[in-house]
């Protein structure tokens, strides 16, 4: 099953000629400028007397169309009063009446129910607009002129097969109330049914497109050209013009016709078919057998005559969608092979009682079914849905599954049954249950056919064999399911499964490393390469230094020098044991111990030189990496760091036997700031100690502030530069400060952001 989209208007924005009409105002801004939605429509009317009429506008859209416009709310309706050539002189803004009509409701059009066929999932919605003129304060006076009631919208589906440029072509739904119809208060005919939403290709079409006339007038039907209306322009101000997607108000007659792709299609022959699609002028019956897949715009007109005089002409256009439809009744059987069209093969080996699984569909359309088989000239039947037949014996048999015989919804499946002699798979095996070794498998399979031609062993551990009597070595223990599938010359197969309880101990204990020489301390990973073993086995390790483990592959740390013998014992879940001693497997040598001191402990940018004193043990060689580009082999080196910062100083010492040890320490060469405050100054003009200023090393400091206060708490000097000095006057420009003691406070941040505060006293002596 698949969904078929009726309309997928893909209106492209494109430039358009200069607008012919000046727009006095914009009636609304469109909420959704994507105009893809309309697939048909019609307007009819009922005369209520005294110039009052009630109209019904029906518009149809595709429910499955994605990102498409919905029904207009409201629908924009225009009424023009003109006859013949006089209509051509009327422009869009000379409508006699303009109506905004709300939508009454939206309903889904019922999809066709084809016997024995499933059409694609097509969804059509009908939007209905009903409006009475008197509710809008309008009455149509009979002045011998026709009234044209119109609705317009763009555009049509770009995949339509029978017209030119469908994605640029809109639709007009209009009806003409003639002076003759006005004289008799005539009501228009109304179509009885909406055409089927989808037509199955190759299936006969019979659709009653007739209408009902309330006045009993004569009706004549014909195919006629659908009308155009609007255009593909989606932007304002042209959106509501006669070239836009929603003309507001709808434009006046005369209206143009869509252009069919001739000679293949015309308004009188809008689609193909064998026989061709045609409409009966007297009954409105549309018949034919469509054979071309696609979407086709069709227009139907019904003309209403009274005493040979034309009263009205109702026009409707719609879209016929011709698609492949899936058949609903199919005879089907669960088979071993499909050998032809509705021909199925079923094989059975040694079993002459066969249950046939009926997979026919659609079951709701299947009223009768029967199975028939020929048993050596005797016909055997069943009316069960999935019957069981017991065949006489080995041989070939033919049968049928018959559904709905003699009807258009019938189908038959031919069934071929091959009954072969039985085949039975079986095997035996042998192995040493205590010590790991190869398992010997022996084929014991039998067949009533000529030969067994293939063996397929699955040993349950991911390995396979096609030998008749294979040998197999397992690397892992367990309860292992072994299967053997055999096939004979009739292609009959059988499978035998038998689990093996396989829990021997390894034939040989193998560990890695096989030998090791290293320096203490050392973490040694003992990789147990023996097989078969797993967590269900008991493992006992003795590492020769008093350490033990029960892990399959343990890690052990040797702390002391010496030669060590390693013992391993393995016990299987069924009690079998094996052990091995690895003499002198591990040889551990003495290691030195790295150690050193640093002086001074807190070096700085002022004192960047460090002295290293070796404190290592059992070392004969030394190497130092100072954390930058400098290194040395001296035992007790010294080094001046060229810059501040944190450095990792690493010592590597070597034992006479070649073993090494490493120790790293962090050295922080701190950026140092020093600032000192004097305790007196003599601002007497003798050029000796005339100003008060701190001294020191201030490189890298920030946020410096120095304040000086007199004994009464009055601020007399402030500076944000450590090189700025006080001359003994208030803020260096006022009167001389008197002799006495002044309080000095200094605040700043060190190079690493640390806050520093200094306080002191300054004695002023003149």
Mean residue pLDDT of the chain comes to 90
Statement to judge: residues 133 and 251 lie in one domain: yes
Please give the pLDDT value at position 36: 62
The yes-or-no verdict on residue 378 having pLDDT over 70 is yes
Please indicate, yes or no, if residue 25 is contained in any of the structural domains: no
Please indicate, yes or no, if residue 700 is contained in any of the structural domains: yes
Statement to judge: residues 174 and 130 lie in one domain: yes
Please give the pLDDT value at position 448: 93
Statement to judge: residues 241 and 271 lie in one domain: yes
Statement to judge: residues 43 and 133 lie in one domain: yes
Please indicate, yes or no, if residue 379 is contained in any of the structural domains: yes
Task: Compute the distance between CA of residue 368 and CA of residue 515 in angstroms, rounded to an integer.
Answer: 84
CB crowding 186-200: b at 16 or more within 10 Å, else e: bbbbbbeebbbbbbb
Please indicate, yes or no, if residue 389 is contained in any of the structural domains: yes
Rama region for 294: left / alpha / beta (φ>0; ψ in -120 to 50; rest)? left
Statement to judge: residues 109 and 247 lie in one domain: yes
Please indicate, yes or no, if residue 12 is contained in any of the structural domains: no
The yes-or-no verdict on residue 424 having pLDDT over 50 is yes
Statement to judge: residues 659 and 689 lie in one domain: no
**Residue 748 belongs to domain with CATH number:** 2.60.40
Statement to judge: residues 295 and 186 lie in one domain: yes
Domain count, the chain: 6
Q: Tally Cβ neighbours within 10 Å of residue 616.
A: 20
Domain boundary among 383, 401, 420: 420
Statement to judge: residues 656 and 713 lie in one domain: no
Confidence label for 13 from pLDDT (cuts 50, 70 and 90): very low
Statement to judge: residues 100 and 60 lie in one domain: yes
Task: Compute the distance between CA of residue 300 and CA of residue 315 in angstroms, rounded to an integer.
Answer: 6
**Residue 544 belongs to domain with CATH number:** 2.60.40.10
Please give the pLDDT value at position 4: 36
The yes-or-no verdict on residue 119 having pLDDT over 90 is no
In sequence order, the 6+-apart residues with CB closer than 8 A to the CB of 352 are 390, 391, 392, 393, 419
Statement to judge: residues 412 and 475 lie in one domain: no
How many angstroms from the chain centroid is the CA of residue 656?
66
Q: Tell me: the pLDDT tens digits for 722-764? A: 999 999 999 999 888 999 999 999 999 988 888 999 999 999 9
Please indicate, yes or no, if residue 165 is contained in any of the structural domains: yes
Please indicate, yes or no, if residue 14 is contained in any of the structural domains: no
Tell the burial category of 292 from Cβ atoms under 10 Å away from its Cβ (0-12, 13-18, 19+): middle
Residue of higher predicted confidence among 467 and 21:
467
Q: For residues 526 and 553, is the Cβ–Cβ distance under 8 A?
A: yes
Statement to judge: residues 292 and 383 lie in one domain: no
Domain boundary among 323, 357, 384: 323
Domain residue limits at 490: 423-502
Domain boundary among 625, 646, 669: 669
- Quote the pTM value: 0.49
The yes-or-no verdict on residue 629 having pLDDT over 70 is yes
What is each CA distance from 216 to 188, 306, 314, 315, in whole angstroms? Answer: 10, 9, 15, 18
Q: For residues 473 and 435, is the Cβ–Cβ distance under 8 A?
A: no
Mean pLDDT across 428-447: 96
Confidence label for 409 from pLDDT (cuts 50, 70 and 90): confident
Q: Please give the share of the chain, as a percent, with pLDDT higher than 90.
A: 77
Confidence label for 324 from pLDDT (cuts 50, 70 and 90): confident
Please give the pLDDT value at position 304: 96
Q: Tell me: the pLDDT tens digits for 571-597? A: 999 999 999 999 999 999 999 999 999
Please give the pLDDT value at position 34: 52
Cross-strand pairs, 676: 695
Please indicate, yes or no, if residue 394 is contained in any of the structural domains: yes
Give the CA-trace dihedral at 640, 643, 645, 649, to 10 degrees: -30
Mean pLDDT across 234-257: 93
Statement to judge: residues 266 and 358 lie in one domain: no
Q: Tell me: the pLDDT tens digits for 149-175? A: 999 998 887 788 999 988 889 999 999
Please give the pLDDT value at position 307: 92
């Amino acid at each position: 099953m698949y969904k078929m989209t009726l309309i997928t208007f893909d209106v492209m924005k494109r430039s358009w000629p200069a607008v012919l009409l000046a727009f006095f105002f914009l009636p609304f801004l469109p909420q959704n400028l994507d105009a893809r939605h309309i697939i048909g429509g019609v307007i009819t009317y009922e005369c209520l007397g005294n110039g009052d009429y009630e109209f019904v506008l029906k518009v149809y859209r595709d429910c499955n169309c994605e990102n498409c416009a919905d029904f207009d709310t409201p629908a924009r309706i225009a009424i023009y009063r003109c006859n013949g050539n006089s209509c051509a002189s009327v422009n869009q803004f000379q409508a006699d009446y303009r109506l905004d009509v709300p939508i009454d409701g939206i309903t889904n059009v019922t999809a066709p129910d084809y016997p024995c066929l499933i059409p694609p999932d097509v969804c059509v919605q009908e939007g209905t607009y009903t409006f009475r003129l008197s509710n809008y304060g309008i009455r149509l006076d009979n002045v011998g002129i026709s009234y044209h009631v119109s609705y317009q919208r763009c555009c049509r589906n770009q995949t339509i097969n029978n017209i030119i440029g469908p994605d640029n072509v809109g639709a007009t739904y209009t009806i003409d109330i003639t002076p003759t119809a006005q004289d008799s208060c005539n009501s228009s005919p109304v179509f009885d049914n909406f055409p089927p939403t989808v037509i199955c290709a190759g299936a006969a079409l019979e659709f009653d497109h007739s209408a009902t006339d309330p006045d009993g007038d004569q009706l004549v039907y014909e195919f006629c050209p659908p009308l155009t209306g609007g255009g593909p322009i989606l932007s304002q101000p042209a959106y509501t013009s006669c070239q836009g997607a929603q003309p507001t108000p709808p434009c006046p007659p005369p209206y143009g016709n869509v252009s069919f792709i001739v000679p293949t299609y015309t308004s009188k022959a809008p689609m193909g078919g064998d026989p061709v699609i045609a409409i009966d002028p007297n009954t409105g019956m549309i018949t034919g057998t469509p054979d071309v897949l696609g979407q086709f715009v069709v227009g139907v007109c019904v003309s209403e005559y009274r005493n040979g005089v034309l009263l009205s002409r109702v026009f409707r256009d719609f879209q016929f969608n011709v698609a492949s439809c899936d058949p609903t009744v199919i005879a089907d059987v669960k088979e071993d092979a499909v050998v032809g069209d509705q021909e199925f093969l079923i094989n059975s080996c040694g079993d002459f009682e066969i249950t046939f699984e009926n997979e026919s569909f659609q079951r709701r359309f299947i009223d009768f079914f029967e199975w028939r088989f020929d048993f050596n000239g005797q016909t055997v039947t069943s009316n069960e849905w999935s019957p069981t037949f017991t065949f006489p014996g080995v041989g070939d048999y033919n049968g049928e599954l018959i559904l709905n015989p003699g009807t258009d919804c019938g189908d038959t499946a031919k069934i071929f049954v091959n009954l072969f002699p039985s085949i039975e798979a079986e095997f035996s095996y042998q192995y040493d249950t205590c010590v790991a070794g190869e398992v010997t498998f022996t084929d014991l399979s039998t067949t009533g056919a000529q030969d067994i031609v293939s063996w397929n062993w699955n040993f349950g551990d991911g390995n396979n064999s096609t030998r008749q009597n294979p040998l197999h070595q397992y690397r892992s223990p367990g309860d292992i399911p072994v299967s053997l599938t055999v096939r004979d010359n009739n292609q009959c197969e059988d499978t035998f499964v038998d689990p093996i309880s396989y829990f021997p101990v390894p034939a040989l204990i193998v560990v890695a490393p096989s030998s090791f020489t290293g320096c203490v301390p050392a973490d040694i990973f003992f990789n147990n390469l023996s097989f078969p073993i797993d967590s269900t086995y008991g493992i006992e390790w003795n590492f020769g230094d008093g350490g033990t483990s029960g892990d399959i592959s343990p890690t052990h740390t040797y702390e002391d020098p010496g030669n060590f013998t390693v013992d391993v014992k393995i016990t299987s879940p069924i009690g079998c044991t094996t052990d091995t001693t690895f003499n002198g497997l591990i040889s551990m040598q003495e290691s030195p111990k790295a150690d050193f001191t640093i002086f001074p402990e807190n070096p700085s940018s002022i004192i960047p030189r460090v002295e290293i004193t070796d404190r290592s043990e059992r070392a004969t060689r030394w190497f130092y990496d100072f954390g930058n580009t400098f290194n040395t082999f001296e035992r007790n080196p010294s080094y001046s760091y060229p810059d501040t910062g944190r450095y990792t100083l690493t010592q590597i010492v070597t034992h006479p036997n070649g073993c090494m040890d490493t120790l790293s320490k962090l050295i922080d060469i701190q950026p140092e700031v020093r600032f000192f405050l004097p305790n007196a100054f003599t601002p007497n003009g003798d050029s000796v100690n005339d100003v008060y200023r701190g001294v020191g090393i201030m490189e890298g400091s920030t946020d410096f502030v120095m304040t000086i206060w007199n004994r009464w708490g009055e601020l007399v000097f402030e500076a944000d530069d450590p090189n700025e000095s006080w001359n003994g006057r208030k803020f260096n420009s006022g009167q001389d400060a008197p002799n006495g003691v002044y309080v000095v406070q200094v605040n700043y941040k060190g190079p690493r952001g640390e806050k520093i505060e200094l306080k002191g006293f300054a004695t002023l002596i003149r």
